[in-house]
C-alpha cells in the first residue's frame, strides 16, 4: 500500500507547497529580468529558519544570484534571476499558458458540438 504524502520525491524541497511558492516567485521575477534586484520576497513567503537554505540551494543550482544590498542604511540579501533561472521561470509560465489554451480549445469544441446538435434538433426526424 502506498502512503499518501506531500513530499517532493527526489528533491531537497520539503513539500509541494514550498515548490509552488518558489515557482510563483520565480515567475514573478521574470518581470524585472535582467535588471531588477529583489529583496525580502522569500522572507515574506517562508519561515526565517529556512529562507537561507532555499536561497543557498537556488544559488548553487544557478537559478538566482545573491547580492548584498544597502537599503536605508541596513544591509539585506538581494537576489536576481540568472539566465538559467529566467529559462526555468519562463518554462513554468509557458506550461500554465498551455493548460489554459487546452481548456479554451475544449470549451470551443463543446460549444460547437452543442450548437450543431441544437441546430440538428430543429429538423423533424420523421
The domain ranges of the chain are: 16-92
The C-alpha cell that represents 10 in the structure block? 527526489
Contact present, 46 and 85 (Cβ < 8 Å): no
Which tens digits make up the pLDDT trace of 2-42?
A: 455 555 444 455 666 777 888 888 888 888 777 788 888 88
The answer, as to whether pTM is greater than 0.85, is no
Contact present, 84 and 58 (Cβ < 8 Å): no
The C-alpha cell that represents 15 in the structure block? 513539500
Which tens digits make up the pLDDT trace of 44-66?
A: 888 888 888 889 988 998 989 99
Classify residue 101 by its DSSP letter: H
CATH topology of domain 16-92: Arc Repressor Mutant, subunit A (1.10.10)
Q: Where are the alpha helices (DSSP H) in 30-82?
A: 41-45, 48-60
pLDDT bin (cut points 50, 70, 90) of residue 97 is low
Amino acid at each position: 500500500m502506498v502512503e499518501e504524502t506531500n513530499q517532493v520525491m527526489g528533491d531537497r524541497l520539503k513539500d509541494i507547497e514550498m515548490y509552488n511558492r518558489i515557482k510563483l516567485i520565480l515567475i514573478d521575477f521574470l518581470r524585472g529580468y535582467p535588471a531588477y534586484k529583489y529583496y525580502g520576497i522569500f522572507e515574506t513567503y517562508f519561515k526565517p529558519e529556512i529562507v537561507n537554505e532555499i536561497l543557498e540551494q537556488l544559488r548553487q543550482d544557478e537559478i538566482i544570484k545573491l547580492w548584498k544590498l544597502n537599503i536605508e542604511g541596513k544591509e539585506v540579501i538581494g537576489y536576481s534571476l540568472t539566465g538559467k533561472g529566467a529559462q526555468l521561470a519562463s518554462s513554468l509560465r509557458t506550461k500554465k499558458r498551455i493548460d489554459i489554451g487546452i481548456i479554451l480549445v475544449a470549451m470551443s469544441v463543446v460549444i460547437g458540438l452543442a450548437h450543431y446538435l441544437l441546430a440538428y434538433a430543429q429538423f423533424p426526424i420523421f
